[in-house]
Amino acid sequence: MTSIYVDADACPVKNEIYRVAERYGLRVYVVSNSYLGVPRDPRIELVVVSDSFDAADNWIAERAGPGDIVVTADIPLADRGLKAGAAVIGNTGVPFTAASIGMAMANRELMSNLRAMGEITGGPKPMTPRDRSRFLSALDETIQKLRRQRN
């Protein structure tokens, strides 16, 4: 059965994930470094990991595999998820693929260097309704694709 693993600490689309998972009857693991409120549903489990660096990423990467979905904005975690055979979707609905992850990793490194030099300040842009819509579509399409592959 497909499970959804959510890198939850900074995930802005948790409510969307809960709605889609309920519709399909999927298990959701909400992985965080601190307590978060999650719906009272036996298929949704909050997993609180230590606050050590990459603890949530490591927990997800050790469990996600073929037929599962990882939702994250963390590019190294996306890479690990893909290597484990999971489908990976970014918070804005852009799927990570074997073809796109190399460019994403290179872009992450470039942006890190620019931030270190003070060329770029601030974080990501706020989520827009279009981003949420794109995310919902990507999640639904990914679930449908995984179901077709099983049959």
Q: pTM value?
A: 0.86
The type of residue at 106 is A
When pLDDT is averaged across residues 112-119 and rounded to a whole number, the result is: 66
Ramachandran angles phi, psi of 53, nearest 5°: -55, 130
Q: Residue 35 — very low, low, confident or very high, per pLDDT cuts 50/70/90?
A: very high
Q: What is the pLDDT of residues 75-109, one digit of tens each?
A: 899 999 999 999 999 988 989 887 776 666 566 56
Q: Which domain holds residue 143?
A: 3-150
Q: Looking at the predicted structure, is the pLDDT value of residue 23 above 80?
A: yes
Number of structural domains found in the chain: 1
Provide the 3-class DSSP secondary structure of residue 138.
helix
Segment 17-27 shows an average pLDDT of 96
Please report, for the domain that includes residue 39, its CATH number.
3.40.50
